Amino acid sequence: MYQRDRLNSELSFFQKIREIDYILLICIILLSITSLLVMYSTDGGEILYHTKSHFSKLVVFFPLMILIAFFNIRHWHTFGYIFYFVIILLLLYVSFFGLKSSGSRRWMDLYLFVLQPSELMKIAIILCLAKYYHRIKIENVNTFTSIMLVLTIILVPIILVISQPDLGTSVLIALSGLIILWLGGVKVKYFVYSFITFLISLPFIISFLKPYQKLRILTFLDPDRDPLGAGYQIIQSKIAIGSGGLEGKGFLKGTQSYLDFLPEKHTDFIFTLFSEEFGFIGSVGLLILYTIIIFRIIRIGALSRSNFSKLFCFGFAFSIFIYIVVNLSMVLGLLPIVGSPLPIMSYGGSSMLATMIGFGIVLSAKINRKQTIA
Amino acid sequence: MIKENLGIRKSDIINRRMFIIGAAKIVVFAGIVARLFSLQINENKKYLTLSDKNRIREWKLPPTRGNIVDYFGNTIAGNLKVYQLHIIPEQVENFNYLLLRLKTLLNLSDKKIQKIIKLKNQLKPWDSIIVSENLSWSQFLKVNNYLYDLVGVKPVMTISRNYPFSEIYTHVLGYVSQPNEEEILENEIVKERFVPGMKIGKLGLEKTLEKQLIGTNAIQRYEVNAYGKRINQLEYQKGLQGNKIRLTVDTEVQKLSAQLLLNKAGSISVMDIYTGDIIAMYSSPSYDPNLFLFGISQDEWQLIRNNPLKPLINKTLSGLYSPGSTIKPIVALSALENNIVNPNFKVKCTGKTELYGQTFHCWKEKGHGFVSLNNAMKQSCDTYFYEVARLLGVDRLNLTAKKFGLGEKVLGEYFDNEKSGLFPNTNWKKNNLGRGWVLGETLITGIGQGYTQTTPLQLCLMTAQIANGGYKIKPKIIVNDDPLSLEDAKTSMGLQSLQTPNIKLFNDPKNIKIVQEAMFSSTNERYGTSYRSRIDDPKYQFAGKTGTAQVKRISKRERELDLKLEQIPYKDRDHALYVAYGPYKNPRYALSIIVEHGGSGSKAAAPMAKELFKLIIDRDEIRDKQSNFENINI
């Protein structure tokens, strides 16, 4: 059995290279180049700190992605729970000893760069739950113990992240986890019930929000309430995007960002700058690039033989989709401002690390699509 | 086997559920694209405007005032380049060192340094601080030489008002200075165009013609960042200079007037008797309007304010004087017009006349003997005019005086400090003083004393209207607002039609002629009061009437003492007056002269007329030629 597995799974180096999903790889490279150009623009058309730092992160994490791709998907299955527990430990560490910045404790200093474990949790939860639903028998999926266990797996990191406090990331973690539950076969009625319960308890939840979070929601409902204070970001973001028009103002010519009207242009509002400079055409182009990536990942999942690969690919595709939707809705004024980066485009090491790990595992799933996992 | 089946079923669930989500993804992405479309395509214009509003800010620069020129096109209020020194704090490396350097370079006071430090703390670091508004050329050069050592200092050239003839025109033009808050708010145009550093008219024509002179702001459009810092200049929109205004005044005549009245308090006005052009209008003493441009120093201001000759008062328009004997032509004319007297009517002057126990003196103690109208005017016999006034009555005299412009503003709309003066009648006294008119008051009104108060310009207008044959003229000081030429004016008077602007002020032209002849006699015949100031050359020959206005009642003792002018305290001395027109044969100009506390009109005022007529008539030809040019290029 062991012998057969080995023969079946281990491909030679060249076979592996042949099996790489080149369309996905090219899309990732294109996205990386775009992100570098936009970062260059946020630095005012010079190669300054953000561009250099973003570039060096790409240089480290892109090979890391390839490296992950060359490991058999089996190993990532094996690591599923361990990865999850390690990140839980890091989250615990951060909540006690983490770096504090603008009122929240999210980061840990790794000398070379500052790590935000909650970003890695977005991947870890998918990996962990994918393994869980891969291993569980179909009859047991909807048992009480199973659902309770799964909910615990999701709630523990969420509580840790919310207490940082970081509402945006915890919502994204929750959504990433729930999608695996959905894919894993949890009954539709449970989703419906809990959604109704959520709606009913919404006012109650809101009363638990921090004042600044409430303010964000109020601002979202009416940005002109306080145009120079809380509403400033969203108003300026809409002005930047709207003034971009069909073709945009041109590369390095986005006045809103160049003249510092855009806050957080490196991170959460990177799309605003992109959209101002490249217009509707550029924005739709970027969206198409993301769509290709997402559907390429879904295709890999569909081609995969093991349910683990399927669950991971579908879950990861969905979470990328969610990141994009939440980020774009936020900068377009469709959702309240919750801190959520745009994958690869936004400045920030942990988010890119998590995304690259995800891509790596997806590429590994493609290479080892015929691999079965016990 | 079962396990295998279960596995397949599990993957079926996964695939089916993935398909549902995949469809949802497309819907959501379509929604985002729709939102992008609405923002970037539908509402693009709106957001583009908002984005421009964000990044483009306008800076208004002070407008350049229009020039004011005299009749011959000489600039009498112009603009001058001035050198200023600005500091831009954010470019300064060491502020204290810079201040120390500037202090020694420009001799700045400690107070000034304190002010700069205060400004620095108030302003944004990229807003410039004006260190010096008006640097001399040598200071400017000095600063430029040390510029390498003065990081953050910017020498700037800007434009400032300038009055090249300094005090000559102060009472005509006024001056400009920094407006206060009230002045900004009360004038719409000033409010709209105000920028710090702008100056507005505070007095005279500079104030009343503000709308025409002010000009439009130049506008600099800058791209600014979110903090308001200027990044780069996008556009410079040039402003329009204010309108050029041409006055009717002649600088040479104005200068001579100033020279004649040097160290005296008084006024000289000269007028064209046909067109009403004011040739000169000088009030003495005057002061330098250039002092006010950059804020006058306390010492200089006190010097002007405390001058006993009162330079701040525009005596030509706001000085109220008893006309004295200069009113006699009007009294004579009124009596002739009302058929009270004829030229042959004679009165015996014994030096005084009694009325209800009150004595009214003639200026000549011994009396003039029997005098006719001509003789009475010539020698300015008071007794004759007491009698004529008594016969005429003050109300009829008042009507004639009013017709000739007494008691009414001459240039009203242009000078808000002009006074209307007063010519009394019985009703006026009853209404204003509450008592009935007394006949004695009629007598003294007949020699220009009592309640009558006139401005020098009114007397000039009165004389001009006698000189032109008795036609009403509208005096003016600005050329472009009433293009009535000399020919037009003369024809309209010749036609004697009431539709024309020049309304006749008499019933019988013979009466005007009689008065004119009497004024001629007064100046050009032996025993005339201004005989000594006559010019025999018919080209310059003029006719006039002296006046000596008492400023206080002469007591019996003083009359007996018969003091010399120098023996009377300055404040109690009589005002000297003279009104005249010339050339007599073909009259063209009228003038009025007042020397405050100058003594007698014949000694203090009439000699000035001689000088003035020489110059005015010499310049008559050039003036006529000049009027042919509609636009003068300077």
Give the pLDDT confidence of A126-162 residue by residue, as tens digits. Answer: 999 999 999 998 888 889 999 999 999 999 999 999 8
| Set of chain B residues whose Cβ sits within 8 Å of the Cβ of A280 | 36-37, 40-41
CA distance B86 to chain A (A): 26
DSSP assignments along B90-132, one per residue: GG-S-HHHHHHHHHHHHT--HHHHHHHHHHHHHS-TTSPEEEE
pLDDT at position B489, please? 63
* More confident: B279 or A371: B279
Statement: residue B105 has pLDDT above 60: yes
Statement: residue A285 has pLDDT above 90: yes
Identify the sign of the CA torsion B45, B50, B51, B53: positive
Give the pLDDT confidence of A68-98 residue by residue, as tens digits. Answer: 999 999 999 999 999 999 999 999 999 888 8
Statement: residue B484 has pLDDT above 60: no
pLDDT at position A313, please? 95
The fraction of chain B above a pLDDT of 90, given in percent, is 52
pLDDT at position A228, please? 66
Across the interface, do B44 and A243 touch by the CB < 8 Å criterion?
yes
pLDDT at position B368, please? 92
Give the pLDDT confidence of A185-201 residue by residue, as tens digits. Answer: 888 899 999 899 989 98
Statement: residue B597 has pLDDT above 60: yes
Mean pLDDT score, B338-355? 92
Please give the angle made by the CA atoms of B40, B42 and B45, to the nearest 5 degrees.
75
* More confident: B496 or B193: B193
pLDDT at position A11, please? 80
Residue among A260, A307, A321 minimizing CB distance to B14:
A307
Mean pLDDT score, A235-260? 89
Q: How far is CA B414 from the centre of its chain?
A: 7
Name the residue type at position B516: Q
CA distance A151 to chain B (A): 19
Give the pLDDT confidence of A323-365 residue by residue, as tens digits. Answer: 999 999 999 988 887 778 999 999 988 999 999 999 999 999 9
CA distance B30 to chain A (A): 10
pLDDT at position B32, please? 93
* List of residues 6+ apart from A159 with CB closer than 8 A: none
Hey, how many other C-beta atoms are within 10 angstroms of the C-beta on A110?
A: 9
**Segments in chain A forming alpha helices (H):** 2-9, 13-19, 22-42, 49-70, 73-97, 117-135, 144-162, 167-184, 188-208, 211-221, 232-244, 255-258, 270-303, 307-331, 349-367
Nearest CA in chain B to A280: B40
Task: Sketch out chain B's domains with CATH numbers.
Answer: 59-246 (3.90.1310.10), 251-626 (3.40.710.10)
Name which of B256, B263, B282, B265 is nearest B204 in CA terms: B282
Residue B56 in contact with partner chain A when CB distance is under 8 A: no
Across the interface, do B14 and A138 touch by the CB < 8 Å criterion?
no
pLDDT at position B486, please? 61
CA dist., res. A79 & res. A332, Å (int) = 38
Nearest CA in chain B to A181: B14
Residue A7 pLDDT grade (very low, low, confident, very high; cuts 50, 70, 90): very low
pLDDT at position B545, please? 95
Give the pLDDT confidence of B433-466 residue by residue, as tens digits. Answer: 999 999 999 999 999 999 999 999 999 999 999 9
**Is the pTM of the predicted complex or chain greater than 0.80?**
no
Name the residue type at position A89: L
ipTM: 0.91
Residue B29 in contact with partner chain A when CB distance is under 8 A: yes
CA distance A348 to chain B (A): 24
Q: What is the mean pLDDT of chain B?
A: 87
CA dist., res. A344 & res. A355, Å (int) = 7
| Set of chain B residues whose Cβ sits within 8 Å of the Cβ of A284 | 33, 36
pLDDT at position A6, please? 47
Across the interface, do A183 and B14 touch by the CB < 8 Å criterion?
yes
CA distance B58 to chain A (A): 16
Hey, how many other C-beta atoms are within 10 angstroms of the C-beta on B490?
A: 16
- Crossing angle for the helix pair A167-184 and A307-331, to the nearest 10 degrees: 140
Nearest CA in chain B to A249: B48
Statement: residue A273 has pLDDT above 70: yes
Mean pLDDT score, A20-41? 94
Mean pLDDT score, A285-314? 94
| Set of chain A residues whose Cβ sits within 8 Å of the Cβ of B21 | 179, 182, 314, 318
pLDDT at position A192, please? 92
| Set of chain A residues whose Cβ sits within 8 Å of the Cβ of B223 | 255, 259
Mean pLDDT score, B176-189? 86
* List of residues 6+ apart from B141 with CB closer than 8 A: none
Residue B19 in contact with partner chain A when CB distance is under 8 A: no
Across the interface, do B10 and A255 touch by the CB < 8 Å criterion?
no
Mean pLDDT score, B343-362? 91
Name which of B360, B358, B330, B338 is nearest B347 in CA terms: B360
DSSP letter assigned to residue A259: T
